[in-house]
Amino acid sequence: MEEANSLSEILSKDLNKLSKAELTEMRRNGLIQQRDPKFFICRLSIPAGVITAEQLEIICKLANEYGNGQVHLSTRQGIQIPGVPYERLSEIQEKLKENGTPTWGCGPTIRNIIACPGYPECKYANISTRKLVYRIKDFIDKRKLGYNLKGKFKIAIAGCPNSCANVYSNDIGIIGVVKPRVKEEICNGCKVCVAICKEKAINIVDEKAVIDFEKCVCCGDCIRLCPFDAIEPEKEGLTIFLGGKQGRHPSLAKKVMEFADEEMVLSIIEGAVKIFEKEGLADGVRKERFGALIERLGFDEIKSLIYGEEDDR
């Protein structure tokens, strides 16, 4: 693979002769130079933060053998092995690749995609977040998206509007949603749904439940909890948010689409990453985030660049 070759070339060089661009390429591949420049952190790609117990055991063994015996659990659901000497990076990298937990993802690239547990573990989940993460990761890898970014780009997925994966503080946030519909012929006005709706979006009118969609966030709780199965899904899908970030100047992502399907999610990710590659600014250490780009160009302009002005989605 082209990137691996160029990385292996870099790793065959003397550490003191590495250029800034080569160190950046190493960071993109998850090899991050520490304060003591002879040592590196190996950041592993762990989409959705899920690996098997066997993979975890091997990571621990490698941390003992190559690193300082510690592992660091990163804020993006990844695992990092600190304290690896430069001359041992090639070896540990190969072993991590064999383990299915390759190093990847610092600097100007698409970072580890994070997700809440989702379906089936979480009883509130409307989607399998893990399946969606794997699909997005596969799409990004096959299309080699994000190889020319000037800054970082983060994606997060939550299985319901509770947003346990902090989707609003990522460049792209995705939430699984379901719109409820009351089956009037079955509803008996028992008020269970009124009590459980956290948004106070349900009222009883003429002994039937009525949903106020100005308040409803499409969490699906009422569908699951009506004791008479009197509420059904009218439509299901994904709400997509753009432009959130944390860091020095945090800001929340804005909604760009509701009830999207997975194809639409992939197309928005591709569009957003390409716009960010093309239009994002970088000036030395100052790298524009996608949210700042949205502010600079305007949300409507970004939307039209992603899926065309004539499209009223």
Give the footprint of ligand SF4 on this chain (CB under 6 A).
Answer: 116-118, 122, 124-125, 158-160, 162-164, 180, 182, 187-193, 197, 199, 201-202, 209, 211, 216-222, 226, 228, 230-231
- Cβ 170 to ligand SF4, closest distance in Å? 13
**47 or 82: CB nearest ligand SF4:** 47
* Cα–Cα distance, 287 to 259 (Å, whole number): 32
- Cβ 127 to ligand SF4, closest distance in Å? 8
Q: Which two tokens stand for residue 185?
A: 């012929």
- Cβ 58 to ligand SF4, closest distance in Å? 27
- Cβ 203 to ligand SF4, closest distance in Å? 10
Strands (E), the chain: 31-33, 39-43, 72-73, 79-85, 114-115, 155-158, 172-182, 202-205, 208-211, 231-242, 254-260, 282-283, 286-287
- Cβ 243 to ligand SF4, closest distance in Å? 20
* Cα–Cα distance, 273 to 140 (Å, whole number): 10
Question: What's 113's DSSP letter?
Answer: P
Contact of 31 with 103, CB cutoff 8 Å: yes
303: left (phi over 0), alpha (psi -120 to 50) or beta: alpha
**49 or 67: CB nearest ligand SF4:** 49
- Cβ 4 to ligand SF4, closest distance in Å? 34
> In sequence order, which residues have a C-beta less than 8 Å from that of residue 300 and are 6 or more positions away?
none
**124 or 290: CB nearest ligand SF4:** 124
**110 or 226: CB nearest ligand SF4:** 226
Question: What's 285's DSSP letter?
Answer: T
**46 or 160: CB nearest ligand SF4:** 160
Nearest to 216 by CA among 231, 232, 200, 230: 200
Rounded to 5 degrees, φ, ψ at 51 are -140, 170
**18 or 209: CB nearest ligand SF4:** 209
**Residue number closest to ligand SF4, CB atom:** 159
Q: How many CB atoms lie within 10 A of CB 125?
A: 20
284: left (phi over 0), alpha (psi -120 to 50) or beta: left
**24 or 162: CB nearest ligand SF4:** 162
- Cβ 181 to ligand SF4, closest distance in Å? 10
- Cβ 189 to ligand SF4, closest distance in Å? 5
**14 or 185: CB nearest ligand SF4:** 185
